[in-house]
């Protein structure tokens, strides 16, 4: 069975959006306070709705187009390998974050990705220090958001 690229991409977008929509509903979309400020699930819910709409439009476009060259060909090349390694690195990052500190897990993620994408040691060290410092300053000091899972 041959699948068109737009249909496959649209279906993937819809699946990802639905996966984000249900947790946002549990957070609450409506205002919980008297000042009318929307709940924490408001923005993720409506972004998910937008992505679902765009995904459905892409699926319809895929079914309506008659181009023969628009079919998916599965080729595992270097770009595919990079995508899978990066996704696996983020999965390992989330698992490590559960058992360690946010900053340690983030630093290890940044170091690994910089080595994987063949950055120099100097760039890797400087980038990791600057990245972790900026996250600390922006979120911990300025916004008072603490990363705890």
**pLDDT tens for each residue of 71-119:** 666 666 778 889 899 999 999 999 998 898 888 999 999 999 999 999 9
**6 and 53 inside one domain:** yes
Confidence of residue 123 (pLDDT cuts 50, 70, 90): very high
Whole-number Å distance between alpha carbons of 22 and 31? 17
Does the pTM exceed 0.95?
Answer: no
Structure tokens at 142: 């300025």
pLDDT tens digits along 41-65 = 888 899 999 999 999 999 998 888 7
Number of domains in the chain: 2
DSSP lists the bridge partners of residue 71 as: 4
Asked if 16 and 37 sit in the same domain, the reply is yes
Range(s) of the domain holding residue 91: 76-149
CA distances from 113 to 42, 108, 110, 122, 147 (A): 33, 9, 5, 14, 21
């Amino acid at each position: 069975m041959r699948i068109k690229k737009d249909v496959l991409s649209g279906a993937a977008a819809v699946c990802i959006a639905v996966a984000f929509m249900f947790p946002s509903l549990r957070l609450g979309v409506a205002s919980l306070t008297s000042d009318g400020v929307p709940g924490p699930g408001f923005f993720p819910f409506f972004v998910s709705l937008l992505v679902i709409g765009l995904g459905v439009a892409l699926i319809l476009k895929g079914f309506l187009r008659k181009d023969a060259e628009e079919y998916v060909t599965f080729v595992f090349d270097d770009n595919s390998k990079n995508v899978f390694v990066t996704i696996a690195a983020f999965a390992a990052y989330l698992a490590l974050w559960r058992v360690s500190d946010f900053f340690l897990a983030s630093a290890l993620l940044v170091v690994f990705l910089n080595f994987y994408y063949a950055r120099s040691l100097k760039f890797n060290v400087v980038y990791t220090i600057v990245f972790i410092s900026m996250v600390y300053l922006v979120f911990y000091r300025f916004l008072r958001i603490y990363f705890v899972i």
